[in-house]
Amino acid sequence: MRLQGKTAVITGGGGGIGRATALLFAREGAAVSVVDMNRESGHEVAREISDFGGRASFEYADVTLAADCRRVVERTVQEFGGVDALFNNAGIIRRASVIEISEEDWDAVMAVNVKSIFFMCREVIPIMAKANRGSIINMASGWGLAGGARAAAYCASKGAVVLTTKAMAIDHGPQNIRVNCLCPGDTNTAMLRSEARQLGEAEDRFLCESARRPLGRMGKPEEIAEAALYLASDASSFVTGAALVVDGGGLASSG
């Protein structure tokens, strides 16, 4: 029970990596606020946690809106008493070069992947500072450390997440708030499959290409969740400002 007595907020908690992390955190003793725009999947995750005896609530929110982020945090504090861990996991991707992508899509990627982190952290950090403890985990990507084809907005957003994480770690270390980010490689989620459709590629072929890395396969959401658990728990008590790569060796030869 590595998170016994703690409360975690997980954005994008209704599916993929967010869902796997919510379930894992709950099994490790945390009360979990599952935040998502998909009411059905968000409620389902919260119910699944309750079914095995865990504590969870679902909060519908558009994390690109400051008011929604404020409401999520306020309700979490009212229900569970505080926030010990925040996992800024919500994210989207639009596969396009800078000459292909629309201004609307560029802005949407930046809003979900970067601006939401600003909004959520702005609400959570004062609570953590008052308690003199906390762990913030931001979802970056291997493409926040190295570029990728036809993913300019996504790469830009995830690079911003990496450096925002480091800046926040410097600012809030004196308050005993640790801030780290995860940099996964291709992981078997609905978002990865959507990339094949965006690029007009056959899904089977696309997923086969995604598995081309030293370990010879894609990641599983549960494997990324385990990395998030490490960063949320006291096992990483001296880790802050880190970009933890979890990609099966995909970036090992990138220099």
Say how many CA atoms lie within 13 Å of 125 toward its Cβ.
18
| Domain-embedded: residue 254 | no
pLDDT tens by residue, 3-39: 999 999 999 999 999 999 999 999 999 999 999 999 9
Query: Is 70 exceeded by the pLDDT of residue 133?
Result: yes
CA–CA distance, 11 with 212 (Å, rounded to integer): 29
Query: Is 90 exceeded by the pLDDT of residue 253?
Result: no
Mean pLDDT of 86-111: 98
| Domain-embedded: residue 197 | yes
| Domain-embedded: residue 74 | yes
Instruction: Tell me how many degrees the CA angle 119-170-89 measures, rounded to the nearest 5.
Output: 40
**The pLDDT value given to residue 137:** 99
Burial class of residue 37 (count of CB atoms within 10 Å of its CB; 0-12, 13-18, 19+): middle
Mean pLDDT of 223-230: 98
Structure tokens at 234: 């006291």
Query: Is 70 exceeded by the pLDDT of residue 255?
Result: no
Structure tokens at 155: 């790469």
Are the CB atoms for 6 and 31 separated by under 8 Å?
yes
Q: Provide the mean pLDDT of the chain.
A: 97
CA–CA distance, 248 with 227 (Å, rounded to integer): 13
Could you list the active site residues? 154
DSSP codes joined into one string, 99-168: TTS-HHHHHHHHIIIIIHHHHHHHHHHHHHHHHT-EEEEEE--GGGTS--TT-HHHHHHHHHHHHHHHHH
Query: Is 80 exceeded by the pLDDT of residue 207?
Result: yes
CATH classification of the domain holding 63: 3.40.50.720
| Domain-embedded: residue 2 | no
Percent of the chain with pLDDT over 70: 100
| Domain-embedded: residue 58 | yes
The boundaries of the domain holding residue 75 are 7-246
Mean pLDDT of 162-176: 98
Query: Is 90 exceeded by the pLDDT of residue 254?
Result: no
Are the CB atoms for 49 and 32 separated by under 8 Å?
yes
CA–CA distance, 53 with 122 (Å, rounded to integer): 31
CA–CA distance, 195 with 44 (Å, rounded to integer): 25
| Domain-embedded: residue 251 | no
pTM for this structure? 0.98
Are the CB atoms for 72 and 60 separated by under 8 Å?
no
| Domain-embedded: residue 11 | yes
In 3-state terms, what secondary structure has residue 42? Answer: helix
| Domain-embedded: residue 121 | yes
Min mean pLDDT across 97-101, 117-121, 221-225, 249-253 is at 249-253
State the total domains in the chain: 1
Q: Comparing C-alpha atoms, which of 252, 38, 224, 27 is closest to residue 137?
A: 224
